[in-house]
Structure 1
């Protein structure tokens, strides 16, 4: 029995579930956003949640090439002096080593015995003294593995590379406009067709209307994968092939069942008196549809537009089947990111930046139209 002033258990469970779902959605998006401003070394060394704090990191550096920097002492010993941070960021060295198999072998200020009288001393500020004979101090500089405390660092270079670098920005920019070319018609066309169909199924009496409604509901559960190959064969048979027209028609066909179902449920819930009064006043069905039904159905139209836009923007399967060609002129952003995974699989900062660029537009669309989402989804649920 519920006590006065206390919420029932089911309300608490619902509130907790909503909070958990929101956090599960926010954390990955926030992590992707933060990672897009970090370097590859930072992403590899620590998680995005620790990006605001100093982190322990192992950095591989080299001493200066000894051939041009060695100095012979009066005792006949050659030395090389310098700082391993010359030309780079200055870090505070905690420990260091000369082999990746024994990281942190020496503390800052200690001297490492490299064998045959060759030694190396490294201070906390990066200054070093490398000592040995002439043969030992030749060739490339000594490799040093430094365990250092790295301060937080953020950069916009990732976005500069993705959006403005000539070697990559052309591909991403072209993929962005290709995606818009697919998404905008693939969102508008099914809305227009579904709105007419939903009005007919909701307010017009004709034979077979109940069967059509049942067919629409049945098509909601049909996986689109079943229709990919037959539909592609049909496109090739009628001469459409792979192109924008084919992918528009494919997205329209796959999105129509949900659109008709959603809009029909909303339109059925509209006041009957308004429509009947309009008919008495001599309005045609087309006038009723355009002047009354469409303005009143805007929440449902916007709700489906969100679903259709997000689905087509994030789609890869339909684009691969009906659009992508060997020349790459019609590559969409999802395919472009897949190609980055293949060519730049180790550059996590570039992948994170490209992924966040690809989700920026859907996020903007969702937040601008989210107030219509719940109203459209609940359409027709109550009378």
Structure 2
């Protein structure tokens, strides 16, 4: 019978399939971004990232030498050269744009006026004419080439140095780490007080915290900046730390308070009977038991601050020395819009640290959120 204890519902398979598809839809673009960050511009423009580990084919053309480059050999005028670059192999060639692969390596083509062109498998060409060449521009030879798969770290060296992302990376770390730790410290004390300490107005404070969850961030940006200027804080790291702390506290207090309310009352009451102070209870009992909730909020706050652009623009500034990674990416989108290898590398660097943080602490995320959502008091 379906629905009995110990038996899986048919919906379990649907949930598993849906979860698998969501993970797949999230993983494939991330993998593509990682692979693209190691490719050069020509590879990105001519093939998809999934072809990065196979030989690459490309079609283009090269121009032969002009009449001034011709030499006379055995009564004929000859122009020689090579159509390949280092690392390329010749697949096919042609003399017209409509048929770029009309001839195989080693074959000879008639161009006109008695001219003949031969392209060898090694890419060397030989164009001959019984009369002097009268051309100021060389003839076009269309080639279809192959090149082995090649990955490079030059993009990362360029992005971290010439494009200024290395400085922005350090700026982002300087903003993110304190802006994650400070709200957790304050919220942990406040959540414990609202959960386990009796004092007048506790219910009103709890309701106020819940109400602050729905206040739009954009409403407080300019008033808070004006307050910072009046207090002499201005724009700087202290200002942005305080801003992120204020914006993150309501969620942190709400999440931690709901989690702490569900902790065993008997353990806390026994500690009080044994003479433990409130601070001892908080430090030795509450904090260790609340680690899943602390970790889940740390993930949320870290990802929010790391990916933030609006608050950083308002409270930190837009000079090259102050820009965070999202600010640099915004500038690169405007100035390097056609250099996809730079954008891919910059984007992956910006998501690498959040990915590491998430996968390192994700086992605590669900535990903290679920415990805070089903328990209350």
Using the size of structure 1 for normalisation, the TM-score is: 0.88
- C-alpha change, 1:96 and 1:157, in structure 2 (3 Å) is farther
- CA shift, 1:127, in A, is 2.2
Contact 1:162 1:354 in 2 (8 A): yes
Distance 1:346 1:215 in 2: 49
Q: Report the counterpart of residue 285 of structure 1 in structure 2.
A: 278
In structure 1, the partner of 2:27 is 26
Equivalent position SS for 1:128: strand
User: What does residue range 21-60 of structure 1 map to in structure 2 within 5 Å?
Assistant: 21-60=22-61
Which runs of no fewer than 5 residues in structure 1 stay unpaired? none
CA deviations 1:174-206 (Å, max 9, x no partner) are 111111110111001111111111111111122
Q: Structure 2 matches for 1:35-184, cutoff 5 A?
A: 35-63=36-64, 65-66=65-66, 69-75=69-75, 77-85=76-84, 87-97=85-95, 99=97, 102=98, 104=100, 106-109=102-105, 120-131=117-128, 134=132, 136=134, 138=136, 141-163=138-160, 165=161, 167-168=162-163, 171-184=164-177
Tell me the secondary structure at the aligned position of residue 58 of structure 1.
strand
Structure 2, gaps ≥5 residues long: none
CA deviations over 1:220-273 (Å, ceiling 9, x no partner): 233212222222232233322221111111111111111111111110111111
Please tell me whether residue 194 in structure 1 is matched to residue 187 in structure 2. yes
Distance 1:190 1:233 in 2: 22
Name the CA distance, whole Å, in 2 between partners of 1:239 and 1:51.
Answer: 54
Runs of 4 or more above 6 Å deviation: 3-6
Q: Which deviates more, 176-185 or 289-298?
A: 289-298
CA gap 1:377/1:69 in 2 versus in 1, 3 angstroms? same
Quote the Cα distance in structure 1 between the aligned partners of 2:195 and 2:317: 39
d(CA) in 2 for partners of 1:221 and 1:68? 77
More displaced stretch, 308-317 vs 54-63: 54-63
Distance 1:380 1:244 in 2: 32
Secondary structure of the 1:106 match is: coil
Distance of 1:174 and 1:67 partners within structure 2: 53
SS at match of 2:311: helix
Aligned twin of 2:239: 246
User: Alpha-carbon deviation of 1:66?
Assistant: 4.3
Residues 151-185 of structure 1, C-alpha deviations (whole Å, 9 max, x = no match): 3222222223223x5x33xx122111111110111
CA contact (8 A) 2:66 2:133 kept: no
Superposed CA RMSD: 2.6
Instruction: Please show how residues 201-220 of structure 1 align to structure 2 within 5 Å.
Output: 201-220=194-213
User: Does 2:339 match 1:347?
Assistant: yes
Equivalent position of 1:270 in the other structure: 263
Residue pair 2:93, 2:141 contacting (<8 A) in 1 also: no
Residue 142 of structure 1: how far off its partner (Å) = 4.4
CA contact (8 A) 1:94 1:124 kept: no
Partner of 2:312: 319
Q: Name the CA distance, whole Å, in 1 between partners of 2:228 and 2:113.
A: 76
Q: Which residue of 1 aligns with 2:357?
A: 365
Question: Which residue does 1:7 correspond to in 2?
Answer: 8
- How far apart, in 2, do the equivalents of 1:241 and 1:276 lie? 46
Q: Match for residue 322 of structure 2? A: 330
SS class of match (2:180):
helix
1:270-310 deviations in whole A, cap 9, x for unaligned?
Answer: 11111112222222222211221112111111111111111
Change beyond 3 A, Cα 1:6–1:45: farther
- Answer whether contact 1:191 1:301 (CA < 8 A) is retained: yes
Q: 1:284 to 1:118 in 2, by over 3 A?
A: same
* TM-aligned CA distance change 1:275 to 1:336, over 3 Å: same
